[in-house]
A and B are shown apart, each in its own frame.
Chain A
Amino acid sequence: MGDVLVFAEHQKGKFPKTTLVSVAAGREAAQKTGGACHAVVLGKNVDAVANELAGYGVKTVYAVDDDALEHYVADAYTEALAEVVKQKGIDLVVATSTAVGKDLLPRLAAKLGAGMASDVTAFHEDGTMERPMYAGNAIATIQIEGSPKVVSVRGTAFDAAKKEGQAQVEKLSVSLDPSRLKTKFVDFNETKSDRPVLTEARIVVSGGRGLKNGENFQTYLEPLCEVLGAAMGASRAAVDAGFVPNDLQVGQTGKVVAPTLYVAVGISGAIQHLAGMKDSKVIVAINKDGEAPIFSVADYGLVADLFKAVPELTEELKKLKSH
């Protein structure tokens, strides 16, 4: 079996946890199939991030520096990444299914004529892999034929890679065909928040339609998040209604999280929501309807009016913290 290449996404000179997860997944895949695991960073002025990445137990870090790679856009990144795959004779490309990973990897697969599996949760020694389908109602064992192959991994299925060794950094230059670059980055409207990142937090507090409006997210959920040091999440219904920004959506078609503690407030527990949180270690549900499906996955269920229970909970937690 050949070598693995991890596409290492970086933001503002740093690696989010999701990148370290992809490194761990790539190392595991390489170990299971007997190849070496390398990683690649693309961007402009990437020396520092490349050196940082070299400390996470990969064999080589390839660094590609190009003005056209300053902002992530699918066409330019596909061209660059495909060249690295070809130059280095890579067998398996791995990245986490973040927004960038989801956007980039299928395009890369098409360019390479490679088969692709999304959201892989396990690698086996015989080269087969596992991935959820049907909103997690089925776990499939899959096989990708041919080489190279492309795989996105689920951010919750692997632990983040730990510091280990110092790999060699190899600078590569690629030639980007300007006629293939047809996308202009215009701007990024960042959601301002003091809360931890949803996919990195140890505790997540999510609100649903039961919150009734965006103001109530501020008055009721924000203080609870604050005392728990939690990230805020939401159901699709809450996002659709405009209570909170889009990128807080947890679920089949939003973000998948698996924190140590997940608190679902005023969320019914539709299968699409469960798909994004049911692997959390401990789940708490607060809902006034004792029959709500969310209780079927909750370790601790509280049947109560959230507008009464949440402020009480926040107060009790404050007391607990001050002891």
Chain B
Amino acid sequence: MKILVPAKRVPDPNSTIKVKPDGSGIVTDNLKWVINPFDEIAIEEGLRIKEKSGPAEVVLVSIGSKAASEQLRTGLAMGADRAILVLSEEAIDSLAVARVLAKIVETEQIELVLMGKQAIDADSNQAGQMLAELLGWPQATFASKIELGDGRAKVTREVDGGLETLDLALPAVITTDLRLNEPRYASLPGIMKARKKELKEVPIADLGVDAAPKLKVLRMVPPAKREGGRKVENVHELVQSLHNEAKVI
């Protein structure tokens, strides 16, 4: 089975994000960059499927600047087989991402796409669902468990009020939630091997897809700051304050 795992380069979730004074974006100096955490979970799942269910190839793809090759190398070091970097200097929206991915799915004859539910920079939570529609494939988003067999996938999903199980005909797009697995770290031998694995670069223009974004970010501002409150001495003071001052109980 050929599995495609899209992986986006995003700021480390532990870093402090500041908006540029001119509102044109975020300050990127000194930021640490990582594979989008949900995509890391998707890579791990792809590797587990390969280890468990036999012959499979895990292909990574990232759309972005040359710098994203760093994240692809990390994914290869985790154990993915090869990687494609679609070079694009422009910021693109999730629909354009999905169009690019759809093209790659076709040319690579992919049978399963595993991807993050959400890129933690723009927080859109869109590309997987869009890709499924463009391909005419079923989708299972927010997966916390995946069982493959017989050309079908049984997927447990994290939804409001509980867990839902869907049965999908493959090929399909599955997006990961936090509880699906705990991604492995790249081992030293893994890092050595990754250097020799294929990482192919393709300019986005060569794919012949319409990647013009329809969602445009015009400007950004920092969020309104919440006024800090105070510390209370004990439980009694807390209850009195909530009752008499805040009047919420």
Chains A and B form a bound pair: yes
Is B52 positioned at the interface, with any CB of A under 8 Å from its CB?
A: no
Say if the beta carbon of B188 comes within 8 Å of chain A: no
Majority secondary structure, B binding face: mixed
Question: A142 and B160 in contact (CB under 8 A), knowing A73-B166, A137-B222, A236-B178?
Answer: no
13 contacts between A and B (CB under 8 A): A100-B160, A107-B130, A118-B126, A138-B222, A142-B217, A188-B163, A191-B162, A249-B178, A252-B120, A271-B13, A283-B229, A304-B234, A317-B239
Residues 192-217 of B, flagged 1 when their CB comes within 8 A of A and 0 if not, give 00000000000000000000011111
Which residues of chain A are within 8 angstroms of B219 by Cβ–Cβ distance? 140-141
Could you tell me if B126 and A109 are in contact, using CB atoms closer than 8 angstroms?
A: yes
Tell me, rounded to whole Å, the shortest Cβ–Cβ distance linking A104 to chain B. 8
Most A CB atoms within 10 A — which of B26, B133, B167, B178? B133
A106/B126 in contact, CB under 8 A: yes
The 5 closest A-B pairs by CB, nearest first: A115-B214, A299-B229, A106-B129, A106-B126, A110-B130
Task: Specify which chain A residues have a CB less than 8 angstroms from the CB of B127 in the assembled complex.
Answer: 106
Residues of A within 8 A of B231 (CB): 290, 295, 300-303
Give B residues with C-beta under 8 Å from A: 11, 13, 17-19, 26, 38, 93-95, 98, 117-118, 120-134, 136-142, 144, 154, 157-169, 172, 177-179, 213-223, 226, 228-232, 234-236, 238-239, 241-243, 246, 248-249
Residues of B within 8 A of A157 (CB): none
**Which among A98, A103, A115, A281 has the greatest number of chain B C-beta atoms within 10 A?**
A103
Instruction: Check B248–A115 contact: CB distance below 8 A.
Output: no
- Chain B residues near A143 (CB, 8 Å)? 215-216, 218
B215's partner among A117, A137, A284 (CB-CB below 8 A) is A117
Contact A116 B226 (CB under 8 A): no
A48 located at the interface, meaning its Cβ lies under 8 Å from any Cβ of chain B in the complex: no
Cβ distance B22 to chain A, nearest Cβ, rounded Å = 13
- What residue of chain A has the Cβ atom nearest to residue B236's Cβ? A316
**Chain B residues within 8 Å of A140, by CB:** 217-220
- B132 and A74 within 8 A (CB): yes
From A133, A188, A203, A283, B164 is in contact (CB under 8 Å) with: A188
